[in-house]
Amino acid sequence: MSETPGEAMPHTSPLADRHKALGAKMTTFGGWEMPLQYSGILEEHRAVRERAGLFDLSHMGELFVEGPAAGEALSAAVVSEPPRLAVGRAQYSMICAPNGGILDDLIVYRLAEERFLVVANAGNAPLVSDLLAQRIGPFRAILDDGSLATALVAVQGPRSVEILAPLTDLEPAGIRYYGIAEGAVAGIPALVARTGYTGEDGFEVFVETARAGELWDAMLAAGAAYGLVPVGLGARDTLRLEAGMPLYGNDLDPTVNPYEANLGRVVRLDKPIDFVGREALRRVAESGPARLLVGLEMTGRGIARHGYPVFVGDRQTGIVTSGTLSPTLGTAIAMAYVAPGDAEPGTIVEVEIRGARVAAKVVPLPFYRRPR
């Protein structure tokens, strides 16, 4: 991918040489050169659903907030309520603009009483870092942007516990979903979180960048007997879409507020500390969102893609934000924003695909839930 004049060269993952040695097709995403696929999106997708996949997520942003008022500082910066987290627990959150628009979606982990980790999307990490620095300014807290010093490797899939357990002094099976623990993996100091972006069980392992190669090699070797394969961004996208998880830049952006994205449950309007966007979001909560994010299952032939218009009769009701052919379900699926009156499951709509209208049905999200 060529760079336009004046455009910064992408960051390089500390695992780039390993990806290329494995035959990965590379792409630029969020300002980073990352693997798109290795053996193929379909094969990698199925490996995660049936066995396990290994992901390089070193492009994500890791922002540490610490100090006596770290929890309160974060509460003033994001829509959720980090002070309510117990140590070792995490919550999904968002950082919003004054008008309620979503500037990024985040995961906030409480590492200690006065120490938090905020994980931001790659392309938004510099913005989130700047915003957090501004918003925590009045509080007794400091921000340490560890994005470039921290690597993130994830193992996802039903065999994840078996693969990780022999490598760590922790007990992976004992880490709760949306929990995090500090220990060692392959002899490397690490934070191990039971979180992910695939709809499967799995773990995200944070280590210092200099040790990323050791971690990757150890996890690939440990997973070989279980059918673990390296997985790129292509399958990560089909996996997250089946799981109904929004992607920033597709399904979420500054023009969207949490209530429109069906994420109003994350917003704590009643928390004791004021936060940026609160009044705008209070108004939306009271009046109702102008549109809603829904799932679509194509009943006609065709795949709905980002930007395709959605109609009810002759009226355009909305627009597709993400779409693919689901490898697990064998049907074309999509997410789209539509008028609230057209958001009821079972509603029949049409997606315009290359000038032709193709029938689709509104369905509940997620499209896929893993067996328990």
Query: What residue ranges do the domains of the chain occupy?
Result: 11-60+149-242, 61-145, 291-372
Question: pLDDT value at position 9?
Answer: 85
Model confidence pLDDT, tens digit, residues 90-114: 999 999 999 999 999 999 999 999 9
Q: What number of other Cβ atoms are within 10 A of residue 114's Cβ?
A: 16
Domain boundaries 11-60+149-242, CATH class: alpha beta
CA–CA gap between residue 313 and residue 272 (Å, rounded): 46
pLDDT digits (tens, 9 = 90+) for 18-29: 999 999 999 999
d(CA 220, CA 178) in angstroms, rounded, equals: 24
Domains 11-60+149-242 and 61-145 share a fold: no
Query: Can you read off the two tokens belonging to residue 352?
Result: 């315009």
For residue 5, the model assigns a pLDDT of: 40
pLDDT under 70: residue ranges of the chain: 1-7
* pTM recorded for the entire structure: 0.96
Assigned CATH topology for domain 291-372: Elongation Factor Tu (Ef-tu); domain 3 (2.40.30)
Q: Which fold has domain 61-145?
A: Alpha-Beta Plaits (3.30.70)
Strand, helix or coil at 346? coil
CA nearest to 246, candidates 328, 335, 306, 178: 335
- DSSP structure class, residue 121: -
Distance CA 152, CA 191 (A): 9
DSSP string, 167-218: GBSS-GGGSPTTBEEEEEETTEEEEEE---SSSS-EEEEEEEGGGHHHHHHH
Distances from the Cα of 83 to the Cα of 67, 154, 264, 342, angstroms: 13, 27, 19, 38
pLDDT given at position 7: 55
